Structure 1
Amino acid sequence: MIRRFLSSLFVLWVLGFLWFAVALPQPAGKQKTDAIVVPTGSGGRIPRGLALLRAGEAPKMLVTGVYSDVKPREFEVEYGVSPELMECCVTLGFAALDTRGNARETAAWIAEQKVRSLRLVTSDWHMRRAALELQGALPQETVILRDAVPSKPSLSMLFLEYHKFLAAWLVQALPG
């Protein structure tokens, strides 16, 4: 009985990992939202968010999880952002240290900004966990458009992220 249960659990784990690794989330199409949210991390996220902002897909953008020593002027130079665009439309969030912190920082920002829909821009391998954490932190009626930045993650990166995703899912699924 226990052997059968453990075997079934193992098969589910393997099938889940295959789904996680093979069916990575994709970029979103053209759809306007109230804001763009970009957690810092692997390459391509911030440039993608800024391109969407410049294209008018949303009027403002939060970059969450920015290292505390980064100055807005340094960000402007690094990413070719004009001071005018920074002033009107880009918020740098310094409070988050991890994905769960990104979700909390985003929830506080969207409440302050009165955002009802947002475009989450993050790596394809990170999207599922980032969206899960965000859904847990935001009001239920907030619409999250997932916009994955394609990457070429290693098998070990996918393996680690799959387990982080499972842990986050279990934390949210358990009562209390």
Structure 2
Amino acid sequence: MQIKGQAVRLIMPGRLEEMGKWSHGTMATNKEQTSGGMMPGKDRPGKDRPGPDLSRSLRYVVIYLCLAVAMLLSGLQHFVLTLPSASGKQLQYTDGIVVMTGGQQRLDDGLQLLTDGIAGKMLISGVGDGVSRAVLVQQLDLDEREINALFCCVELDFVAKDTRGNARVARRWAIDNNMRSLRLVTANYHMPRALLVFANEMPEFNLYQYPVYPDDLRIDGWWHDRAMLRLLIREYAKYLAETVRI
């Protein structure tokens, strides 16, 4: 068909329909590429960025960790605030005294209890190699009564290396001497764990405590003293480990 000297190509209805489909498909493909992050400078979502489920899981992990730390700190504070304190009550007589080594003051207090008639026999558990009664007399400022008590009524244990070892040796010693009750002498910060271990190793015995207060142990303001803080954290961790073990 010719119109004013120009050739015009006639397009049949079927051809128009095919061209429409091709044009629509091309536009859709371009749109998908654009929205899919194919354009320069655009990141494809879901590939490099964490999805909502992952972000939610990370938040839960952080929350649980914060709660766990808060519980541990609260438990540590409770542990320190509830350490056994000196009692003004008259001490009950026990068959034996068990002193766990770790400081001279424990030995002094144990011998004082023995000479005061609080018990008939005493075991010093965890003594180092080379230590003897004569060496203790030289190292400790003992009076005549305490020296006599040391040689007549005190037994030294060289086997125990830890608190559980102290308890096992003490149990055998108590059974061999037909004892039913024992008084434990150790530092106040060590006493909760010692009672826990001894009660587990010898449940048939009556146990009593006599906490010792080392001169260098300052509970007031313990969180300001690094050495004291490390000591209490370490002891609290050991106490928790024993509760899980038992």
Q: Which TM class, normalised by the smaller chain length?
A: 0.7 to 0.9
Instruction: Measure the CA separation in 2 of the matches of 1:91 and 1:35.
Output: 11
Offset of residue 133 of structure 1: 1.2
1:121 is aligned to 2:195: no
Q: Does residue 35 of structure 1 match 2:96?
A: yes
* Inter-partner Cα distance in structure 2 for 1:26 and 1:50: 20
1:104·1:137 contact (CA, 8 Å) conserved in 2? yes
Amino acid paired to 2:115: R
Which residue identity is paired with 2:164? R
Instruction: Give the alignment of 1:11-22 within 5 angstroms.
Output: 11-22=70-81
Letter in 2 for 1:62: L
Q: Please state whether the residue corresponding to 1:16 is helix, strand or coil.
A: helix
Shift of 1:75: 1.8
Give the TM-score taking structure 1 as reference length: 0.88
Identity of aligned residues (%): 36
- Give 1:86's aligned residue: 150
* Structure 2 counterpart SS, 1:67: coil
Tell which deviates more after alignment, 21-30 or 160-169: 21-30
Distance 2:92 2:159 in 1: 28
Distance 1:126 1:43 in 2: 15
Check conservation: 2:188, 2:211, Cα contact below 8 A. yes
Does the 8 Å contact 2:106/2:212 carry over to 1? yes
Asked if residue 55 in structure 1 is aligned to residue 116 in structure 2, the reply is yes
**Does structure 1 conserve the Cα–Cα contact (< 8 Å) formed by 2:114 and 2:149?**
no
**2:245 aligned to 154, 171, 174, which one?**
171
Bigger Cα displacement from structure 2, 28-37 vs 102-111:
28-37
Across the aligned residues of Structure 1 and Structure 2, the Cα RMSD in angstroms comes to 1.8
Count of aligned residue pairs for this structure pair? 170
* Partner in structure 2 of residue 95 of structure 1: 159
Match of 2:236 in 1: 162
- 1:6 deviates by 4.4
- Write the letter of the residue equivalent to 1:168: E
Find the counterpart in structure 2 of residue 142 from structure 1: 205
Give the superposition deviation at 1:7: 4.4
In 2, Cα distance between the equivalents of 1:159 and 1:11?
Answer: 14
Deviations 1:133-153 (A, max 9, x none): 111111x23111111012315
Instruction: Map 1:69-80; keep pairs closer than 5 Å.
Output: 69-79=130-140, 80=142
SS in 2 for 1:114: coil
